[in-house]
Amino acid sequence: MGCERDGRGPAEPARGRWEHEDGAVRAAVAEVMGRLAAGDRDAVWDLHDLAERPLARIVRAEARRIDVRIGDDDVYDLTLDAAIDLGKLAPSWDPDGALPWVWARRRVTALVHHHVGTFADELDDSHLDLEAPRAVARVEAPRQVLRDAARRHPAAHELEQRLTAAASARDVEIWLGVQMEKAAGNRSPAVTVAADHGMRADAVRKVVQRVSQRLEEVA
């Protein structure tokens, strides 16, 4: 979780069929980007399916270049953020030009830098006087609570599906944990959830913000 300094030097990703002018891939991407440009927000999932591998290569290569190691959950989160970002740019993309993740590579690498900065803040804010969590009854494991509710309530089932599609298992657990701590009367839910996950409270708040934004983007 988070980012660690890595002693390895920069490295470029291996080139594969996803980086080359593969006709079938280009046609599929053009179709999906066309749907996104026309306002089909659900098409972002099809774009992510097509782009996840090349985006992951770009993310890992940039992390190595700046001498930072990131985990698989973080890579997945960043590929999803990048797919959503590329979807927003769909009206400006030229189907006869470079593939979206090549065309907007700087946008993808900027997401990596933002992510690194988010978790660097975790290490640097120990001097802050964070509000201690109010003593409240502890909630059950958030993901299990939602699974149980999903078996009985269609709305909970829909939320579970949307969360599973929108974020990594770690981020879903954090987002649900904060919502359930709020419902239990905890006035400082981010502080409590941060302690559960070995994070800083501000990083938990950023995860909650990111997941909430994704839920709105793909609603």
Q: Where are the alpha helices (H) located in the chain, listed in sequence order?
A: 23-37, 43-65, 72-88, 100-103, 105-124, 142-150, 154-166, 169-183, 189-197, 201-217
Give this prediction's pTM. 0.55
How far apart CA 199 and CA 64 sit, in angstroms, is: 23
Which of 188, 86, 87, 204 minimizes the C-alpha distance to 136? 188
The whole-angstrom separation of Cα 90 and Cα 44 is 10
**pLDDT score recorded for residue 33:** 95
Residue 217: the pLDDT is 73
Lowest-pLDDT choice from 9-23, 30-44, 148-162: 9-23
Query: Which range, 40-54, 107-121, 200-214, is most confident?
Result: 40-54
Cα 79 to its chain centre, rounded Å, is 7
How many Å separate Cα 208 from the centre of its chain? 11
* CA–CA gap between residue 167 and residue 201 (Å, rounded): 19
Does residue 156 surpass a pLDDT of 90? no
Sign of dihedral through CA atoms 80, 83, 89, 91? negative
Three-class HEC string of 165-187:
HHCCHHHHHHHHHHHHHHHCCCC
pLDDT for residue 89 is more than 80: yes
